[in-house]
Structure formats: C-alpha cells, structure tokens
C-alpha cells in the first residue's frame, strides 16, 4: 500500500516543485492530512513597476511582479498550497476571500495569524471547495489598494457547465494622477490626528481619506488597451466578474445583449436574466450571454459620467469591423437585478423554520464628523465580539445610518440573505452584501466553522478606519 500511495503523491504533486513527502502529509495548522491532489503555487509579494496601458509607469505592490496577481485555478476537492515570500518593506498576509476554510489559513493579521514580516515566508494550505469564483488579497492595511489581489477559480469536479468560452474579469479602481495608484492615496484626514490617542488606532496619524479614483481597469489594463473579449456567433459565453476594488461599486451593462446571472459569490442561483447588474466590492457574479448579435460592443459601468478612466470592456465578434465599439445605454425600461430577485439553488440542509439561536443588530455609521467608520459606535480593534456557539443559527441585522453603501463581508462562512417573501431554502447564499445608505439588510448563517472570524465593510478605507469586528466561537 505504501508504494501505491507514494506513486499517487508523486503524480498528484505534478511538475515544478520537488518535495520530500513523508508517508502522511500533515500541515502544521491542519488537523487532518491532506487528501487528493495538491496544487502548489509560489507567490512573492514585492514592489514592481507596472503600467495600466495608459499613463506613466508606477510602482505597485504585486504578487510575482504583476497586477492583478496570477490566477489560481484548481478543481474542487484539490488542496491549494501557496508558498508566500514577503519581499515587501511591510508585513503582509493573504486572505482567500469567500472560501470557508480552516481558521488558521484565513490570513487576517492579529485575528488568525501573525502577519508575515519582511523577508519571511508563510505556507497557506486549504481545501479548494466549493466550486466557484473567488479572489485572494492582502489583508494588511491599504495593501489591497496598492495591487495585492488576484482571481481564484475553483472549477467543478464533475459538471463543467454549459458554455463555449469563459473570461475572468477583475474590475479595479486606480488613482492615475501623481503617477499611479499608490502615492496619490496617501491623504490623511486632518481630523485623524487628534483622535488617535483617544481611539487607540494603530495607524499613525489616523486613517487615510478615500482617494478619488480616476482609472477603472480590467485585469490590469485601462480601455482602450484592454484586449477585446473575442466571441463567435452562436457561442455561449461565461464571464466571471470579480470586484477587488478598494472603494468602487459598479453598475454594468453589456450593449446589445442581456446577461443571465448563474452564480453569485461562487454559489449557484436560479438563472436570472437582466440588463443591468450591480457588483459591490468583494462580490462576484458569474454571468452568461448568447453571442447572437454580431458586432463590436462595450460592457461598461454606468458611473463616473463616461470620462477617460471609465470602466469599459470591448466585446468583439470574430469578423466584425474593429471600429468604435457601441456603448450600452442605461435609459429606458431595463431589467435591473436586485438581491430580492435572486433565488438560491442550494437547499438548506436544516431549514430554520423561523428558529434563530442568536441575533445581532449592527448599526453602520460614521464618515460625517469623524474620519472613523463604526459598527454600533465602535472602532476596530476596540470592537464588539459577536459570540456564537457551534451549531447556532445566527442572524445579523444591519442598519446603515450613514450616507455611503457598505459591502459587509463575513469570513469563514456563507450566509443567506433573509427574504420573508420567499421560502428560506431559496434564500440566496453569499459572503458579501451591500447595505445601502439608510437601508437595512438581514443575513443568516449556521455557525459551522470554528474559529475567530473577521467581519467588516469591504470598502478598504472604511475597514481600516474601524468598520470591523469579529465573530467568535464560544
Ligand atoms: Cu463601508
């Protein structure tokens, strides 16, 4: 038997990295030996010169010298192992956004691990499941806004889906002035300094002001330098839309076509046809469209008044003229997919029937007379702990008392969007939800993944300015 296992591991590990593998592979942080194929990736986090296709070169913070970082693409059930080498001048971590993995691998400094110091290494290892569209990013301060993010795609083990071609699109916000995205973001609130001592905030001088973004790139390129998505008439096209932006929510439409939403935050939904789609920070939407309207079209965002830096993705049929692509129009009677229209496809294994073990109310506030953003009036790390017990069915009821939308993200779990109008087992399963200004939102999750989990607004500038707390298992 030993020989069989050794042969198996030899093939499973694949080319590239030679490792001495003992009889049982036991990761220092995992209680169980890894099973199934292991997929290894080597990431070095370092500063590197990048160019978004327009504007000057600038120094971004990168994985392997590129923005976005390399795509991780594996099959469901495989084990992902990432060797991270930190060549940055600051400590860093990687968070695997949306994946309900073992707590110690979740990559939140001070919550699940000590951040990796400059010059040091760390090995992340976790099971790739479930299948779906995810992303990874640094969870240290403003590093995500400096370029430290990338796509993470888990393909289904069996049913690959019914499409002919797929594209992964990272929708990124950048600051173009002052030579790029990094230096220009270093504006601090004048209110920040005085409050530092009182609040005990770690960041010297208080949190940074949200920059004014003026470049919206896709996979590291600004229009018109983005390669058009080539399609052939008759094909079914799948787009994996991922929003790793630091503070931008996009409202999108593809000219000449309707989109069918098939997955949100990695989870399958009943196919929903729509003209317009809104994607919050940290959210993912898988959409499909039938290539049945030949021409040269744009998939664009509505916001920002159509300026130079607007988000635009050209979609070009083979054989069409490469002239000016046709932009979408956002007027008229359009279908606009909202959360309430979505129906989850995964049955709830133990539907609550109205029984909730624990409920928390979270008031989201800040931004008006303070540089800080708060949950129930508190600034992380001086924040609440939402204490749950394993097996609990937990409700979180948000109310957004501020003038900004807050895409709230819970680590380590999927939650359902509570919708009293439909049966609970069709409530859509997500990990990030936009709570709009002066609106409420309620989520429910089962406490089935022990640990201490970060829970926060995914607007990076709100998160670092305090809008975060933890869900802790008793
Ligand atoms: Cu926020």
- At 204-223, the pLDDT tens digits run 567 877 788 888 999 999 99
Residues 394-415: what's their mean pLDDT?
97
Question: How far apart are the C-alpha atoms of 82 and 397, rounded to whole Å?
Answer: 36
Phi, psi of 73, rounded to the nearest 5 degrees? -135, 115
Residues 77-102: what's their mean pLDDT?
97
Residues 333-338: what's their mean pLDDT?
95
Report pLDDT for 371: 84
Q: Do 2-159 and 358-473 share a fold?
A: yes
Report pLDDT for 188: 54
Higher pLDDT, 42 or 158: 42
Is residue 369 predicted with pLDDT exceeding 80? Answer: no
Q: Which of 424, 252, 225, 243 is nearest to 327 (CA)?
A: 252
Report pLDDT for 201: 39
- How much distance in Å is there from the Cα of 66 to the middle of ligand 1? 28
- How much distance in Å is there from the Cα of 436 to the middle of ligand 1? 10
CB 153 within 8 A of CB 147: no
Q: In the CATH scheme, what is the code of domain 213-337?
A: 2.60.40.420
Question: How far apart are the C-alpha atoms of 399 and 420, rounded to whole Å?
Answer: 17
Phi, psi of 240, rounded to the nearest 5 degrees? -100, 105
Architecture of the domain made up of 358-473:
Sandwich (2.60)
- How much distance in Å is there from the Cα of 464 to the middle of ligand 1? 10
Report pLDDT for 346: 77
Is residue 79 predicted with pLDDT exceeding 70? Answer: yes
Specify the pTM. Answer: 0.89
- How much distance in Å is there from the Cα of 246 to the middle of ligand 1? 10
Report pLDDT for 5: 32
Domain residue spans of the chain: 2-159, 213-337, 358-473
Q: What is the CA radius of gyration of the chain?
A: 22
Half-sphere exposure for 130 (CA within 13 Å, toward CB): 13
CB 342 within 8 A of CB 428: yes
- How much distance in Å is there from the Cα of 461 to the middle of ligand 1? 8
Is residue 143 predicted with pLDDT exceeding 50? Answer: yes
Q: Which of 391, 364, 387, 375 is nearest to 445 (CA)?
A: 391
Is residue 9 predicted with pLDDT exceeding 70? Answer: no
Sheet holding 79-86, edge to edge: 58-63, 38-50, 79-86, 121-127
Question: How far apart are the C-alpha atoms of 400 and 308, rounded to whole Å?
Answer: 32
Report pLDDT for 2: 32
Residues 394-402: what's their mean pLDDT?
97
- How much distance in Å is there from the Cα of 72 to the middle of ligand 1? 28
What's the chain's average pLDDT?
A: 86
By the CB criterion, residues less than 5 angstroms from ion ligand 1 are: 406, 457, 459, 462
Q: Which of 154, 430, 159, 164 is nearest to 284 (CA)?
A: 430
Report pLDDT for 111: 97
- How much distance in Å is there from the Cα of 458 to the middle of ligand 1? 6
Q: In the CATH scheme, what is the code of domain 2-159?
A: 2.60.40.420
- How much distance in Å is there from the Cα of 243 to the middle of ligand 1? 15
Structure confidence at residue 178 as a pLDDT band (50, 70, 90): low
């Amino acid at each position: 038997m030993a020989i069989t296992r050794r042969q198996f591991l030899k093939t499973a590990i694949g080319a590239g990295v030679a490792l001495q593998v003992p009889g049982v592979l036991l990761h220092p942080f995992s209680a169980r030996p890894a099973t199934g194929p292991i997929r290894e990736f080597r990431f070095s986090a370092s500063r590197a010169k990048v160019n978004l296709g327009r504007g000057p070169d600038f120094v971004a913070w990168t994985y392997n010298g590129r923005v976005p970082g390399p795509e991780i693409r594996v099959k469901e059930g495989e084990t992902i192992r990432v060797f991270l080498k930190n060549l940055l001048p600051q400590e860093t971590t990687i968070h695997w956004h949306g994946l309900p993995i073992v707590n110690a691998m979740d990559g939140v400094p001070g919550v699940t691990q000590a951040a990796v110091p400059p010059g040091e290494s760390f090995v992340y290892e976790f099971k790739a499941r479930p299948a779906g569209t995810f992303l990874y990013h640094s969870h240290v301060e403003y590093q995500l806004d400096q370029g430290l993010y990338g796509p993470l795609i888990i393909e289904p083990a069996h049913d690959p889906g019914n499409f002919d071609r797929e594209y992964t699109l990272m929708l990124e916000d950048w600051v173009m002035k002052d030579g790029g995205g990094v230096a220009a973001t270093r504006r601090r609130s004048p209110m920040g300094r005085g409050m530092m001592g009182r609040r005990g905030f770690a960041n010297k001088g208080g949190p940074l002001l949200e920059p004014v973004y003026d470049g919206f790139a896709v996979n590291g390129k600004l229009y018109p330098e983005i390669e058009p998505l080539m399609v052939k008439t008759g094909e079914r096209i799948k787009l994996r839309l991922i929003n790793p932006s630091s503070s931008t929510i996009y409202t999108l439409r593809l000219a000449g076509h309707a989109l069918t939403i098939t997955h949100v935050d990695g989870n399958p939904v009943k196919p929903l046809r729509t003209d317009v789609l809104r994607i919050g920070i940290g959210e993912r939407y898988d959409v499909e469209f039938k290539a049945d309207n030949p021409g040269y079209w744009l998939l664009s965002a509505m916001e920002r008044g159509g300026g130079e830096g607007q988000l635009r993705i050209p979609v070009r049929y083979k054989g069409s003229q490469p002239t000016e692509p046709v932009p979408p129009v956002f007027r008229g009677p359009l279908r606009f997919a909202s959360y309430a229209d979505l129906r989850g496809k995964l049955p709830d294994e133990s539907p609550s029937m109205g029984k909730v073990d624990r409920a928390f109310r979270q008031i989201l506030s800040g931004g008006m007379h303070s540089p800080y953003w708060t949950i129930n009036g508190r600034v992380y790390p001086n924040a609440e702990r939402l204490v749950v017990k394993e097996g609990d069915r937990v409700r979180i009821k948000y109310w957004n008392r501020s003038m900004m939308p807050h895409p709230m993200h819970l680590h380590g779990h999927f939650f359902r969007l509570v919708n009293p109008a439909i049966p609970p087992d069709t409530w859509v399963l997500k990990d990030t939800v936009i709570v709009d200004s002066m609106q409420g939102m309620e989520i429910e999750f089962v406490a089935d993944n022990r640990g201490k989990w970060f829970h926060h607004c995914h607007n990076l500038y709100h998160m670092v300015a305090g809008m975060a707390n933890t869900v802790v298992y008793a």
